[in-house]
Structure formats: C-alpha cells, structure tokens
Amino acid sequence: MPGQRVSADKVKEIIELKSRHVSNRRIAEIVGLNRNTVNHYCQLQTKGLLGNAFKIKKSKSYHSEQRLIDCLKFIQQKFEATKLLPLWKLYKIEFNDGYRYTHFCGIAQLVERIVIMKNPTHPPILITGRLKVKSSINPAYFICLLFPASGLQTTIHTSDLKAISIINFLQTSFCTLGGYPEIMGLASSQHSFKKLPRSTIQDVEDWLDQMGSKVVHHSNENIEFKKIISQFSLDARTTNSDEEQFFGVRVSLLFKIFDRPNLSEVPIKFPELRKVITAKAQKNSHVFLPEDKNYYSIPSSYIGQVLTIKYNSEIVSIYSGDKQLCDHLRTLKHFTYTTNKHHLNPKVGWTKEYFLRVSSKIGASTKLFIQHLFEKYDSPNAGFKQANAILLLKNKYPGREIEAACSKILPIGPHTYHRLKRELELSLTFG
C-alpha cells in the first residue's frame, strides 16, 4: 500500500534499479512494493529530497531558515504561556503561513530544553580528556568547548594538554564563534580536566580572568552536568558539528539565536599567558621582580606580606591572595623603581624622613651624608637600601668613627655606602 514504511535498503534498491532505466512497474514487482510507493521514492530522488542514507529529508518548508527563526523567537518571547494550543493559535494569527500544531509543539519542546539550559549553572564548558579512538597523534587528547543550550561544540585533537595549547584553542574558537562568554565552565569530572596539573588550570583561569570571563567549576557530584555531557559525543570524531536536531532545527541556528547574543565581542588583541611568582613586600613599599631586577610599588599596609606577582611583556599585576592590589607598566631597564606615590605612607616602612631622623642620632655629619645620598637619585627609593646599610654599620663600628668618616668624605664625595665603608676599613687598618 502507498503509505507503508520502507527500509533504507529497499529505497537504495529502488534507486539503483531506476538508474538502470527499469520501469516503475517492474521495480515494484522486484522489490515487492506497491507501484505508487515506488513512484513516490523515484520522485523524491528526482527532487533531491533523499539523503545519503536514502532517508527522506525534511520538506522544504522545514528548511526555511527565516520560518524557523520566526517560530523560535516567538516561542522564546511567549514561553511563559502554560498551554501550547493557545500559544499556537497566537502564533498562527501573527504568522499565517507558520507551522502546523504538531510541528510547533516539537519546536516548543526544544525551546523549553534550551531555556532550562540557559541558567547560570550551565555556561559554555571547557572539557579535556584522552581520546578513546585510534589516532595518528600519540598520545592523543581532545579539547572541547561545549555550549549545552544549543549543543554546539568545537573540538580539536592535540598531543598535549599544556596551558598554551588550551589557550590557543580558546582563541581560535572565540574568533570562529565571533565572541567569548562572560561565564566559562571548567569540567572536573571523569573527562579528566581535574587530572591536569594545578598550575595549568591556574594559568587557564588567569587567562580567562584577563579576558573578563568568570570561571566556575563542575564537580563530579553535579548530576545535571553529567546529563548534559551524556547528550554529546566527546571523543572528538567530529568538529563543529551542525547535524539537524528535532524538526529540522540545526545546531548553528540554535547557537545563532540563543547563544551568540550573549557573547561579548572578541578583543582586537588577546591577553598573553602571564608568568606567576611570589615575593615578599619590602620595607620600601616595593616588591622585587628578579627577571628584570626591578622594583614595583605596593600599598604600604602590605609591607612584610608575601604577595603574588603576575606579569607579561607589558603589565605587572600584584595580588594579595585573590585581591588585585595594583598594575604597573613593565620596565625592562635594570634596577629601576616604578612607584605610585599614593602607595607610600610616610608613617609606615622606609621613607627619606625616617632615615634622616634615625641618622641624626649618630651625628649631624651622618645625617648630611645620607641627605646627599638621596639627592643623587631621581627617586628616594633608590637610596633606601644604601641608607639602611649605612645605619647598620653602627653594629660593627662606633658612632663616633662613622661620624668622623662622614665628615671626611662630605667635602670630596662620592656620597655612597661603599665609599663610607672603605673609609671605615682604612681607618681601622691604619688608625
């Protein structure tokens, strides 16, 4: 009978016989089907409505992208309506050539799933793991960026899971998608993101933080997250999949309507992966960056604390725990001080006034010597360590000897710690 179901194998046989110019009547006899059924599949093949698997494609009306967009947006705007029948009637009033009720209900179910997915606990998710399929890359891993609402995923094979590989993948994905999410999920489940070194995860988190993306973690106990992951293939056999969902709605179309509007514009220049070290805040209200041999100021209230320095080729950022204290432009010239005057407190730590006050207890010449020392530098910070070293000389030499040595050097110079120390050593040797 004409309405009977036909397997893909029989459809394939019909098409092959037709390609040999066998008549429809004879084909019907060979495959054991009604002649009208054979006519129907031959017409579908002529119109290009049979897929590669010899299954019927959706009708042309299903493939009208604008029709789908209108329907999806209408349901999204009116989703709070509890009954589908009244909602469909409103839809037909606004769109006279819209979908019939059954098709409309199917799309509404899809929209309902997406609306539920689009809550703060289901942001785009970054997933990494080992490939379970054979690959030319050995060892083989995958990195996947998954949008649970629309089902869109971008996936690559990689030979390592270093931070730079993950960040390069994210940059490429953001450029391809035309935006980056404000909230990014990191998977810590059986898919092994949690097995990455903690330093790698911190580097990825830090890079996303520079992008302006808040990071949330999905734990193994998150049952809803497991359900989301189970809906998609994560073995990296396909990339940027755009297979049809229910009722002819494609993943790319769902992403375009529901996910793309929530992405921020991709920056002209991506942030760099930053290096991270720890350093103790010195009494001169600065921290020392060993790579450049330079000093960067911090608020005086943090003197003595161990702080975190994160830096790239342009910016040096200083943190106390998760709190960012300040940013400085990076200086590559050695032994320079980058100072924000608002960080300095004259009552806390080392200041010029502090050294002048303490040196006056040794003598007037010592105080004047240290004053000349500070005048040598554009910033008093450069003289702090020498001034402190001069004050520590009193642990080895009597105050009167230091005062006498300063008096001798004052008229001729140079006014430095090393010159004063040499003078004290000579006087001790030769009397």
- Nearest-angstrom CA–CA distance, 126 and 182: 13
- Does residue 245 fall inside a structural domain? no
pLDDT computed for residue 100 by the predictor: 79
76 and 48 within one domain: no
pLDDT computed for residue 191 by the predictor: 46
- Nearest-angstrom CA–CA distance, 83 and 100: 16
414 and 371 within one domain: yes
For 403-422, the pLDDT digits (tens) are 888 888 888 878 888 888 88
Task: Tell which residue, 259, 117, 241, 111, has the closest CA to residue 174.
Answer: 259
| Number of separate domains in the chain | 5
For 366-391, the pLDDT digits (tens) are 888 888 888 877 666 777 888 888 88
What is the DSSP annotation of 203-232? HHHHHHHHHTPEEEEE-TT-HHHHHHHHTS
Residue that is last in its domain, among 343, 365, 390:
343
pLDDT computed for residue 428 by the predictor: 72
- Nearest-angstrom CA–CA distance, 67 and 88: 14
291 and 332 within one domain: yes
230 and 146 within one domain: yes
Residue that is last in its domain, among 188, 213, 240:
240
- Does residue 304 fall inside a structural domain? yes
Sheet with 275-280, strands from edge to edge, namely 275-280, 306-311, 315-320, 323-329
Strand duo 141-146 + 125-130: pairing: antiparallel
180 and 131 within one domain: yes
* Dihedral Cα 227, 228, 232, 234, nearest 10 deg: -90
Contact (Cβ atoms closer than 8 angstroms) between residue 177 and residue 146: no
Residue indicated by tokens 């990689």: 158
In sign, the C-alpha dihedral spanning 372, 374, 378, 383 is positive
- Does residue 269 fall inside a structural domain? no
Residue that is last in its domain, among 97, 117, 137:
117
Domain that holds residue 2: 1-57
- The DSSP output letter for 343 is G
Mapped onto helix, strand or coil, the DSSP state of residue 311 is: strand
133 and 112 within one domain: no
397 and 336 within one domain: no
Beta-carbon contacts of 10 under 8 Å, excluding residues fewer than 6 positions away, are 31, 33
333 and 279 within one domain: yes
Tokens in use for 413? 């110079």
In sign, the C-alpha dihedral spanning 75, 78, 84, 86 is negative
Residue indicated by tokens 């089907």: 33
- Does residue 251 fall inside a structural domain? no
- Nearest-angstrom CA–CA distance, 296 and 281: 10
- Does residue 370 fall inside a structural domain? yes
Distance of CA 92 to the CA centre of its chain: 43
The CA distances from residue 306 to 29, 214, 298, in Å, are 87, 25, 12
CATH at residue 199: 3.30.420.10
Using only the alpha carbons of the chain, give its radius of gyration. Answer: 37
133 and 205 within one domain: yes
298 and 361 within one domain: no
235 and 138 within one domain: yes
Q: Is the peptide bond before 197 cis (omega within 30 degrees of 0)?
A: no
- Those residues of the chain that have pLDDT short of 50 are 1-3, 59-62, 189, 191-192, 194, 220-221, 223-225, 227-241
- Does residue 154 fall inside a structural domain? yes
- Does residue 382 fall inside a structural domain? yes
The CA distances from residue 348 to 9, 113, 301, 304, 355, in Å, are 86, 59, 8, 11, 12
pLDDT computed for residue 117 by the predictor: 58
- Does residue 414 fall inside a structural domain? yes
359 and 318 within one domain: no
Task: Tell which residue, 256, 141, 276, 265, has the closest CA to residue 196.
Answer: 141
Q: For the chain, give the longest Cα–Cα distance.
A: 129
Can you say whether residue 248 is alpha, beta or left, with left for phi > 0 and alpha for psi between -120 and 50 degrees? left
- Nearest-angstrom CA–CA distance, 431 and 419: 17
